[in-house]
Structure 1
Amino acid sequence: MEEDYHYLPSFDSEHDMQRIDGVKTFFHEFYIESKKLWSLASPAISTSICQYSIAQITQLFAGHLGVLQLAAVSVENSVIAGLCYGALLGMGSALETLCGQAYGAKQVDMLGVYLQRSLIILNTTVLALVFFYLFATQILVLIGQPMDIAKWAGKFSLWMIPQLFAYAMNFPIQKFLQAQSKMMVMAIIAAVALVGHTLLIWLFMMKMDLGLVAGALVLNGSWWFMALAQFVYILCGTCGEAWSGFTSKAFENIWGFVRLSLASGVMICLEYWYFMALILSAGYVKDAKIVVDAVSICTSIVGWMFMLCIGFNAAISVRVSNELGAGHPRAAKFSVLVVSITSLLFGVIITIALFLARSRYPPLFTNNFEVQQVVSELTPLLGTTIMLNGLQPTLSGVAIGAGWQTYVAYINVVCYYVFGIPLGLILCFILNRGVKVIVIF
């Protein structure tokens, strides 16, 4: 186990879930499994939405400063921070597989060792990722973004470097707590951070008129608050045998951990960078500022749905890894079925809500009437996209729990980058189908 980072549990059919032999039994088991999933998913969804909303609230207030400021913040969030966020979250997901299966196999003492290895790897990775923040303006210009947007986004990126190091602390700590089903403490910390962030950013950006610099400072502070609060919670002895202090074992066999971290990183990055590609593509359309703002608002809405699915992702990852670690494959399979049905239902509900509120929600993001009109026109396609894509992040959680990150990475390459983006670009720019094609793809 310690050599190749793969558990080979002896399946225990005696204690595994019994076979379902009728409709009544199915619904009974569905109800029981739903309770287990929601006990994990509810705080995980709350945590994901609160953390995502912290960045989106910053973007929302930037939209009230001006079109250029909104474009700058959205490009930094989606491209520069999005690139690094996806890489670090993905690499941190290796901890999800290992800690979850170790916890299910009753090898709790290994969780703290895995956490420390992940912290070492992610903080080392951050030193390389700082490059993208330091040269954000040049990178954005190189990939074709308008100069004024690139300059503003570049300045904002420099101010956001501390957030990058907070990511490297936050993600491994969250996966460590998540494997032990300690979701509620993460939800409480994230909710406190969101409330404090909203009040401070309103005070500094709107009332005191300190602009984007204040937004960056508050955003950095919010992420560091979450990372440090969670770490203090661990140090207080709340995790029992899972945390027995710092150890030199964290430096042993680190290359095997790096390989799994890289596989996890590639899988998640390919999903997150797809949204980054949408924002970049919008920058080449006529009236780029208006289009970038409109598409960034649409991707923000998709992002909130994605955060909801990330909650299911976390829950199913814990359920699958724990059940496989305990040698219960049938229970793991049934959990996948339950969470898939639940995710699809949520996608349908959110799609209907967007259709009904298509003219009401755009003003929440911007004062610009042209941007509002474009967003309203894109809403039907946006809803369709949400409904179709709602299941994918949840199934990624299954892959993480089972340790199948490499296979999913191959699937993501084909679906997103061989089929989705090229076809969308051809329809948008060669066949002149417009920005609506970018959103649907």
Structure 2
Amino acid sequence: MAVDSVPLLNTHGHGNDNNQLENPVRWVKEFGHESKRLWRLAGPAIFTAICQYSLGALTQTFAGLVSELDLAAVSVENSVVAGLAFGVMLGMGSALETLCGQAYGAGRLRMLGVYMQRSWVILLTTACLLVPIYVWSPPILQLFGETTEISNAAGKFAVWMLPQLFAYAMNFPIQKFLQAQRKVMVMAWVSALVLVLHAFFSWLLILKLGWGLIGAAITLNTSWWLIVIGQFLYIFITTSDGAWCGFSWLAFADLFGFVKLSLASAVMLCLEFWYLMVIVVITGRLPNPLIPVDAISICMNINGWDAMIAIGFNAAISVRVSNELGAGNAWLAKFGVLVVSITSVGIGVVCMIVVFATKDYFPYLFTNSNAVAEETTKLATLLGFTVLLNSLQPVLSGVAIGAGWQALVAYINIGCYYVVGLPAGILLGFTFGFGVMGIWSGMIGGIVLQTLILIVVTSLTNWNKEAEAAESRVKRWGGSTGEQ
């Protein structure tokens, strides 16, 4: 099976492809063709990401209408405990994104189902290893400076959310399996249906019946497992055009190499997801932290919604790059990176303007407290700049996943985020007394540095060599499936 045909260009990476677009009219036309290919993937992926993120965001919103403590409990559990698990699972699942995408581009369909099952084995094992973090989250949160009241409430909610952890382990491999084949509309329809059910039952259990945090846990866990079941039923019934050939013992073969790539992917994405999550934890160490924690949690909620757009583009460009490299079309992979970067930055500018225009109003969607709303409005300027930066940074990470650069980007993230950004935030927030504004400002500096480095790395990449590496990877990983 080959990737989409391209109307204007020689699709093979070895040649004088850049010269084909010296004519501005031809460049614009090809930009339009690539944009269509991109949006066919990104549109449903963005919609799916927004729907799935909205599950936790809606739960947080309903909890905020009950009490400030319930809002803090759900916010800290969502941002810190579940956020940690989400980063690990999504990161380890991203190894599947590289392998499935490149195998699909090379026409090796049967490999995809085996890859997904290997990923399930690894992620379910990882989920078991993460259970103690959920169980002992109150002392862990207190160790990082959260108050006893918030830590105990968040810890109780975390234990109730253990089923969600195992839903993550099943869901992310399924999504990468479907994304690599461009079956993104299936995910969108399942997520939309579940979101509608989730909104109704959240209102019913949390507010109408007064079940509070217990009702929140029941609806959130159930919703995530409905997504897993719905997507898997589609794969099981349709066999996904031959990519699913049933359960196989091959899922337990070649696990070491698979774990190695999964760990590199996990480190890369975890360092990104945890970075902004750390803001919530550090804010808990400020004097009288309840209002600042609620305010920063609301901002992270808004930032998370916006990040779903970037995550959609992340998924789309990862598929485009991995498919084209797997098929040997190096130049198209490079051109796709240019198109997605321009598109996502344009959307980021629009989102930043929306944040600035609504900063006096959006806090009241999440809280009835005037004090929390006023503090959130003060933070809106930093939120706007973060939204803009996050329009490009996740896209460049998607390029890294598609090309298989996870280990390199992990080192870049460590340096920019945890050697530069985090210490700068602590210094500004505590030593210089700027509070939560200083914490966030310093960490924005880390995002700026990381984004600039990724731009340079992507610009200097030899895409012909990347296509050759993808061909070698597909051959090496395809050996155990028996497919020729």
Give me the TM-score of the superposition, normalised by structure 2. 0.87
* TM-fit CA distance, 1:18: 7.2
* TM-fit CA distance, 1:82: 0.5
- C-alpha contact (below 8 Å) 1:17/1:328 kept by paired residues: no
* TM-fit CA distance, 1:142: 1.6
Q: Distance in 2 between matches of 1:30 and 1:225?
A: 38
* Equivalent position amino acid for 2:410 in 1: A
* Equivalent position amino acid for 2:386 in 1: T
Q: Counterpart in 2 of 1:355?
A: 356
* Equivalent position amino acid for 2:427 in 1: I
Q: Distance in 2 between matches of 1:151 and 1:131?
A: 15
1:247-271 CA-to-partner distances (Å, cap 9, x unmatched) read 1111111100000000000001001
* Equivalent position amino acid for 1:257 in 2: F
Q: Counterpart in 1 of 2:117?
A: 116
* Equivalent position amino acid for 2:252 in 1: F
Q: Counterpart in 1 of 2:435?
A: 434
- C-alpha contact (below 8 Å) 1:17/1:331 kept by paired residues: no
| Corresponding pairs, count | 432
Q: Counterpart in 2 of 1:147?
A: 148
* TM-fit CA distance, 1:16: 7.6
Q: Counterpart in 2 of 1:381?
A: 382
* Equivalent position amino acid for 1:393 in 2: P
* Equivalent position amino acid for 2:47 in 1: S
Q: Distance in 1 between matches of 2:201 and 2:127?
A: 27
Q: Counterpart in 2 of 1:225?
A: 226
Q: Counterpart in 2 of 1:336?
A: 337
Q: Distance in 1 between matches of 2:18 and 2:127?
A: 43
**Is 1:21 matched with 2:22?**
yes
Q: Distance in 2 between matches of 1:168 and 1:302?
A: 24
Q: Distance in 2 between matches of 1:15 and 1:114?
A: 35
Unaligned stretches of 5+ residues in structure 2: 1-10, 444-484
Identity of aligned residues (%): 55
Matches within 5 A, 1:123-162: 123-162=124-163
**Is 1:98 matched with 2:99?**
yes
Q: Distance in 1 between matches of 2:23 and 2:411?
A: 37
1:159-193 CA-to-partner distances (Å, cap 9, x unmatched) read 00000000000000000000000000000101111
1:27-49 CA-to-partner distances (Å, cap 9, x unmatched) read 11110000000000000000000
Q: Distance in 1 between matches of 2:217 and 2:185?
A: 28
1:116-163 CA-to-partner distances (Å, cap 9, x unmatched) read 100010001111001111111111112221000000001000100000
Q: Distance in 2 between matches of 1:170 and 1:342?
A: 28
Q: Counterpart in 1 of 2:413?
A: 412
* TM-fit CA distance, 1:13: 3.8
- C-alpha contact (below 8 Å) 1:90/1:261 kept by paired residues: yes
Q: Counterpart in 2 of 1:7?
A: none
* TM-fit CA distance, 1:377: 1.2
* TM-fit CA distance, 1:15: 12
Classify the secondary structure of the residue corresponding to 1:244: coil
Q: Counterpart in 1 of 2:42?
A: 41
Q: Distance in 2 between matches of 1:19 and 1:44?
A: 31
Q: Distance in 1 between matches of 2:320 and 2:33?
A: 13
Q: Distance in 2 between matches of 1:392 and 1:438?
A: 20
Q: Counterpart in 1 of 2:235?
A: 234
* TM-fit CA distance, 1:51: 0.5
Q: Counterpart in 2 of 1:5?
A: none
**Is 1:64 matched with 2:65?**
yes
Q: Distance in 2 between matches of 1:14 and 1:346?
A: 33
Q: Distance in 2 between matches of 1:39 and 1:126?
A: 33
* Equivalent position amino acid for 1:304 in 2: W
Unaligned stretches of 5+ residues in structure 1: 1-9
Q: Which moved more, 1:234-243 or 1:152-161?
A: 234-243
**Is 1:271 matched with 2:272?**
yes
* TM-fit CA distance, 1:14: 7.4
* TM-fit CA distance, 1:388: 2.3
1:399-418 CA-to-partner distances (Å, cap 9, x unmatched) read 00000001111111111111
- C-alpha contact (below 8 Å) 2:267/2:410 kept by paired residues: yes
* TM-fit CA distance, 1:212: 0.5
Q: Which moved more, 1:232-241 or 1:112-121?
A: 232-241
Q: Distance in 2 between matches of 1:15 and 1:115?
A: 37
Matches within 5 A, 1:164-243: 164-243=165-244
Q: Which moved more, 1:73-82 or 1:231-240?
A: 231-240
Classify the secondary structure of the residue corresponding to 1:237: helix
* TM-fit CA distance, 1:229: 0.7
Give me the TM-score of the superposition, normalised by structure 1. 0.96
Q: Distance in 1 between matches of 2:195 and 2:180?
A: 24
Q: Counterpart in 1 of 2:372?
A: 371
Q: Counterpart in 2 of 1:314?
A: 315
Classify the secondary structure of the residue corresponding to 1:287: coil
1:83-136 CA-to-partner distances (Å, cap 9, x unmatched) read 111001100000000000000001111001101100010001111001111111
Classify the secondary structure of the residue corresponding to 2:238: coil
1:379-433 CA-to-partner distances (Å, cap 9, x unmatched) read 1121012112321001110000000001111111111111111101101100101
Considering Cα pairs closer than 8 Å and 6+ residues apart, tell me whether 1 or 2 has the greater RCO: 1
* TM-fit CA distance, 1:312: 0.1
Q: Distance in 1 between matches of 2:211 and 2:41?
A: 40
